[in-house]
Amino acid sequence: MRIPELYDSSYQALFGSPQKIIKLDLTNEKQLSRPENMIQNDVEHGSSFIEKDSFSCESLIVNSTEVLSHENPSKASLGGCVWDIFRRQDIPKLTEYLRRHWKEFRHFDQSPIDSVIHPIHDQTLFLDKRHKQQLKKEYNVEPWSFEQHLGEAVFIPAGCPHQVRNRQSCIKVALDFVSPENLWECVRLTEEFRLLPKIHRAKEDKLEVKKMAVYAMVAAIKELKDLNSNTR
């Protein structure tokens, strides 16, 4: 999908839009993230392990040690964090790679990964530079990788696997929302979560997307009726 459409949908979820009559649902959260720019035993660690959400998301850095650029310009030039976002169509290859190589990954304390139920939904794996190069070599798959600076917002379409590594301490505000462009992907992911074990952490992401769609249709029909009655 095109990112401008995702931007319009998030704006509509926040403020409403006279051009669109479907009201979108949203949640928001604040997150304090510490830097993970250290490398231990040649292992690059992430602040947020690879995952994919059943909703679209907008992530904004509202505070960061990057504001101290006059004290340490070289540190500020690195940006607050580094994102890796994969395409939906690359998920099968990415999943296959992670299933083949998951024993090579380590927790932050260097302890081995005990087991993997779902290599993405488990949120226990982080692809460092070596693994991203190996993924490119074996499957010709690579993410969109970029830095996020203070005041910049990142849009993640529903279902796109992503991971984050903070280079500086940051306070982030995340806005999760359901957009018409990603509605069917939200439904598909909700059904995918149902297949996971009951105690799986992904079960905590409860998104009643079908109920949202029903309420949106009811609101749309009501607004159409009001428009028709006003034009008579």
Whether pLDDT at 33 is above 70: no
**Pairwise pLDDT comparison (3 vs 55), residue with the higher score:** 55
Pair 66, 215: CB distance under 8 Å? no
Q: Which of 43, 86, 83 is nearest to 172 (CA)?
A: 83
Cα separation, 68 vs 74, whole angstroms: 10
Compare 151 and 5 and report the one with higher pLDDT: 151
Residue range 60-108, pLDDT digits in tens: 776 666 544 445 555 455 678 899 999 999 999 999 999 999 999 987 7
| Domains of the chain (ranges, CATH numbers) | 3-231 (2.60.120.650)
For residues 121-134, average pLDDT: 93
CA angle centred on 79, ends 49 and 178, rounded to 5°: 50
Who has greater pLDDT, 68 or 117?
A: 117
CA 20/CA 18 separation, integer angstroms: 6
The residue ranking higher by pLDDT, 99 or 40, is 99
Higher pLDDT, 67 or 157: 157
Burial per residue of 58-91, b for 16 or more beta-carbon CB atoms within 10 angstroms, e otherwise: bbbbebbbbeeeeeeeebbebbbbbbbbbeeebb
* Half-sphere exposure in the Cβ direction for 17 (13 Å, CA): 14
**Is the model's pLDDT at 118 over the cut of 90?**
yes
Per-residue model confidence (pLDDT) at position 50: 83
- pTM equals 0.74
Residue 190 binned pLDDT confidence (cut-offs 50, 70, 90): confident
Has residue 200 got a pLDDT over 50? yes
Average pLDDT taken over every residue of the chain? 77
Higher pLDDT, 83 or 172: 83
User: Predicted confidence band at 30 (pLDDT cuts at 50, 70, 90)?
Assistant: very low
- pLDDT tens per residue across span 210-223: 788 888 888 889 88
If you average pLDDT over residues 23-52, what whole number do you get? 54
Per-residue confidence at 172, pLDDT binned at 50, 70, 90? confident
Higher pLDDT, 181 or 98: 98
Question: Average of pLDDT values for 25-51?
Answer: 54
pLDDT one-digit tens code per residue, 139-149: 999 999 999 98
